[in-house]
Amino acid sequence: MGESLLQDIRYPEDLRKLPAGELDRVADALRAELVRLAASNGGHFAGSLGTVELTVALHYAFETPRDRLIWDVGHQAHGHKALTGRREELPRIKRSDGPSGFLRRSESAYDVFGAGHAGTSVSAGLGIAEAMRRQGSDARVVSVIGDGAATCGMAFEALNHAGEIGVDLKVVLNDNGMSIAPSVGGLARSGGYRAYFESLGIGYAGPVDGHDLAALLEAVRELRDATGPQVLHVKTRKGRGYAPAEADPFGWHATSPFDVASGERAPAASGGPPSWTEAFADALARLADRDPRLVAITAAMPDGTGLDRFARSHPERVYDVGIAEQHAVTFAAGLAAEGQRPVCAIYSSFLQRAFDQIVHDVALQRLPVIFALDRAGLVGADGPTHHGALDLSYLRMIPGLVVAAPRDENELQHLLATALESDRPFALRFPRGAAPGVPLDPDPKPLPIGRGEVLREGRDVALVALGKTVAAAQQAADLLAVRGISAAVVDARFVKPLDDRTLTRVAKQCGAVLTVEDHAIHGGFGSAVLELLADTAPEVAIRRLGIPDRFLEHGSVEEQWRAAGIDADSIAAQVLRWLDGDAS
């Protein structure tokens, strides 16, 4: 019955034809659909369960898409996708032939503003509402933001501005006590939302039970008809309606496939290599054992960055600052200014939000902050909002900042030791997924800064690679050897400073250099090598491989590497075309 009910609701206008008394049945059917979807596919889960009734009430009370409904991130918007023409596509979510896991303007008119990072909905909504006012439109604008995302500095800035200009913006605060991990900060702890919003000149209503559809619909209608900036405070439960997720919303934020009846999840493969994240956390713990100055900082991602693992042995050395990357970096700078050795563990794509703080508060003052950039490079299913494809470009231009990338987990622990002992700002990038599984040296030791390693000598072409692409370069060299081509392989290890002596020697020896990186082709590692050899070996021919100048869509990492041409087969094919005289 529930599934047939949803089949009759392809778009919100179908929902709005129903009597209000039917909405509870719609919510029950939608929640069951989301549970079935996650059980089959895995993925982000608990957040959307908590917003089922809110999603139904908003689309029922507002005339979407004419009225603009703006969601923060996308974790809480799978129900929104199901009610806006994409229900049949959701089983393929995050696959290359399916919809994005986040909000995308190009995907649907109902996705008013694209979002994969938290904290954007109030700023975007305010801009949209002001544009509507200037154009004389009476369309309404409502922004949904989670209480965890509301810790973002940008959300505070937007609310402050909304109170100043007084435009008709409606904000729904989805308060479930969580971002991914439990929400942090004085506002969440005190619950003083009314005083806070009213002090900014913003009307406040609530809190209202976000799972009582009758009460919620009444509150949403009042919000719809109010004028000026307004906040509706809605109390929800992350994971609502699925008992295992309600009991552990942190653990069920994202999930592997599971059995609906028992909640038993598909077992993780055992006996394989650790993830890069696990390797980082374990190396950090070993270094913390011997250096009492070391502390770690996360911006609401303790599990994603491995700091929950680190905290098991060093709980007093971890700070979760909430979804506030700018504050995380300057907080780290303050710690470093007084002799601590802070490690900022932040995804590569999220660190983009704190560029000025890296420049002004860390590098300019030469403070020894270590940036651990997880999810560097192409990340697969999360797609272009989460690809860590720009960090080398935006970091290597900063004076005094060391930038490095390990090829395996053993090199990772040694580079962490290098960063800790360097007394310099230091950025260390590593990818998502399983590490190569190499044996670890018993004691992490510093490596010479700016020194790479020649893994294979050659005479015809030098494959100069960085981080994860080193393994692909080695495999490509094997493929080329079968064709009679002798390829040197260099693990550059450092992007800044480059190993100018080694790179120049190998370049002159081979006469041809191909750089390979899991990063944007413009301004990254290959560009750095090109700049170096233009001065030291201008006679050497140079080609670069990296992520092309476009946003690569979601899908598997393997598909994305083939699209970028940085897998072993593509590297070897590029060399063969080049040496055969193909200029393409």
Is 468 annotated as catalytic? no
d(CA 473, CA 545): 11
What HEC string does 1-26 produce?
A: CHHHHHHCCCCHHHHCCCCHHHHHHH
d(CA 555, CA 257): 17
Read off the amino acid at residue 465: A
Read off the amino acid at residue 131: A
d(CA 446, CA 286): 14
Q: Which is the catalytic residue, given 353, 429, 493, 544?
A: 353
Torsions phi, psi for 68 (to 5 deg):
-90, 120
Read off the amino acid at residue 71: W
Are 527 and 544 within 8 A, CB to CB? yes
In the 8-state DSSP scheme, what is residue 537? -
Q: Which is the catalytic residue, given 33, 53, 325, 411?
A: 325
Are 84 and 43 within 8 A, CB to CB? no
d(CA 498, CA 448): 12
In the 8-state DSSP scheme, what is residue 523? S
Q: What DSSP element (H or E) covers 321? A: none
Is 94 annotated as catalytic? no
**Torsion sign across C-alpha atoms 29, 206, 116, 167:** positive
d(CA 525, CA 289): 33
Is 353 annotated as catalytic? yes
Question: Which residue in the block uniquely carries the two structure tokens 């039917």?
Answer: 22
Phi-psi region of 478 (alpha: psi -120 to 50; beta: other; left: phi over 0): alpha
d(CA 387, CA 554): 9
Structure tokens, 582? 């193909």
Q: Which is the catalytic residue, given 31, 238, 468, 493?
A: 238
Q: Is 441 helix (H, G, I), strand (E, B) or coil?
A: coil
d(CA 147, CA 79): 19
In the 8-state DSSP scheme, what is residue 330? H
Q: In what order do the strands lie in the sheet with 169-175?
A: 68-71, 141-146, 169-175, 230-235, 203-209
- Nearest Cα residue to 530 out of 517, 514, 519, 546: 514
In the 8-state DSSP scheme, what is residue 439? P
Q: What DSSP element (H or E) covers 170? A: strand 169-175
Query: Active-site positions?
Result: 238, 325, 353
